[in-house]
Amino acid sequence: MTQEEEARLESIEELLRSESIRQEILPIVERVRAELARKNEALMTWEPIPLNVFGGALPAEIQSAWVFVLRAGVDTGPERHPNSHQRMMTFDGSGDMRTRDASQWRSNVLVSNSDAPLEQRWISIPRNVWHRPVVGPDADWTVVSFHTVPAEELIEEKPDDSSKAGTKQTTYLSKK
């Protein structure tokens, strides 16, 4: 991770540690958790965070923020974002955000312990990099994710052998 990216993540994390911002995010977290509890078949649930929650203090390239809750014991499968650089922090729980380089999957275990090093709390995933969240069996994993495109434009691309392109694209808001 470059020093510039590390500084960017630290500045976002400082915002997330603000008690006033946490109080704005916690009701979203609770709604997303409740939705996952209602949807037994869902691997994860999500909701965008209104950017005004951050009072204009996010880096300029951040165009959307999200809460995702991933179900305990699941591997949601590979996905990538062809139109966005993703920056994600563990808010509660832990999980393994595996990333794929040219030949293999790499483990990136992330935890919600604020005393852990930055690279154990955050991950920065450039555009078009395959990643797959894998959650342990004991507890759901809550993350806050930041993207470089507006919420309505965030594309999720997944492998799809039935497609000529070999992938299928959807937007998160169209999947709700």
Phi/psi for 142 (5° steps) reads -105, 130
Q: Which residues of 75-109 are buried (b: 16+ CB within 10 A; e: fewer)?
A: ebebebbebbbbbbbbbebbbbbbbeeeeeeeebe
CA distance 39 to 43: 9
CA distance 59 to 61: 6
What is the residue-wise DSSP string for 147-169?
ESS-GGG-EEEEE-TTSTTSEEE
State pLDDT tens for residues 96-136: 999 998 889 999 999 999 999 999 999 999 999 999 999 99
CA distance 156 to 153: 10
| Cα→Cα distances 155→4, 83, 97, 117, 171, Å | 26, 7, 18, 30, 4
What are the extents of the domains in the chain?
Answer: 3-175
Given the candidates 3.40.50.300, 3.90.1010.10, 3.40.50.720, 2.60.120.10, the CATH classification of the domain at 3-175 is 2.60.120.10
State pLDDT tens for residues 13-72: 999 999 999 999 999 999 999 999 999 999 999 999 999 999 999 999 999 999 999 999
Give the pTM: 0.94
